[in-house]
Amino acid sequence: MTTFHGTTILTVRKNGRVALGGDGQVSVGDTVMKGRATKVRTLKGGKILAGFAGSVADALTLYEKFEEKLERHPGNMPRAAVELAKDWRSDRILRRLEALLVVANLEHSFLLSGSGELIEPDDGILAVGSGGNYALAAARALLPDSALDAKQTVERSLGIAAEICVFTNNHLTVLELGGA
C-alpha cells in the first residue's frame, strides 16, 4: 500500500465514541506550502467521519464517490465501502487517484485504497499518511490503560506524531461521534 507524505490521519474508537483527526500541513516535496489545511470532514449529516491522505483533488473525488455509494446503500456504511473499493480497483480512471480514504461511523472504521484494500482494524485504531505509524503506535500505547477518551487519544497521538514526523504539524482538526 502506498504511503503518502504530507499528512497524518488517525481514528480511534473507545467507549461508544469514535474520533477522527488529521494535521494541517500541506507539503510539496520537502517544502511546507500550508499549515492549516483541513483534511477531515463529516458526511451524511454528521453520521460519518472521513479523512484522507494524498492528493486533495483526488480525495475530494473519493468523498463524492463514497457519498454516492452511501446514497445507494443508506444506513449500510460497510456495503458502501465495499462498493467504492470495488469501483476504485476496477475503474480505469478511479484507479489513478492518489489518495487513501479513512471513514468511520459509530460501528465501523475502514481504510480504502485504490489498490483494493478495504481494511477494518481489529482494535478500533486506524492511521494513514507519513506520520500514520507514529500516531498508530502512540494511540495503541495510550488507549488501554488511559483515562483519555477517543478524542483526547487522537489529539495526544497526533501531537506525538507531529513531534517526530517532519510532514506532520500540530494544527489539528479532530471530529467525534457518540456520547452525550
Average pLDDT, stretch 120-138? 95
Please report, for the domain that includes residue 127, its CATH number. 3.60.20.10
DSSP letter for 178, please.
Answer: S
DSSP letter string over 46-79?
A: TTEEEEEEE-HHHHHHHHHHHHHHHHHSTT-HHH
The single residue of 2, 3, 7, 31 carrying the catalytic annotation is 7
Residue 13 in grid coordinates: 474508537
Domain presence at residue 178: no
Q: What is the pLDDT of residues 93-121, one digit of tens each?
A: 766 777 788 999 999 999 988 777 899 99
What's this model's pTM, rounded to 2 decimal places?
A: 0.91
Angle at 16 between CA 12 and CA 17, to 5 degrees: 45
Domain presence at residue 48: yes
Active site residue 7: yes
Domain, as residue range, for 90:
8-170
What is the chain's percent helix, strand, coil content, to nearest 5? 35, 30, 35
Rounded-to-integer distance, Cα 96 and Cα 114, Å: 8
- Number of domains forming the structure of the chain: 1
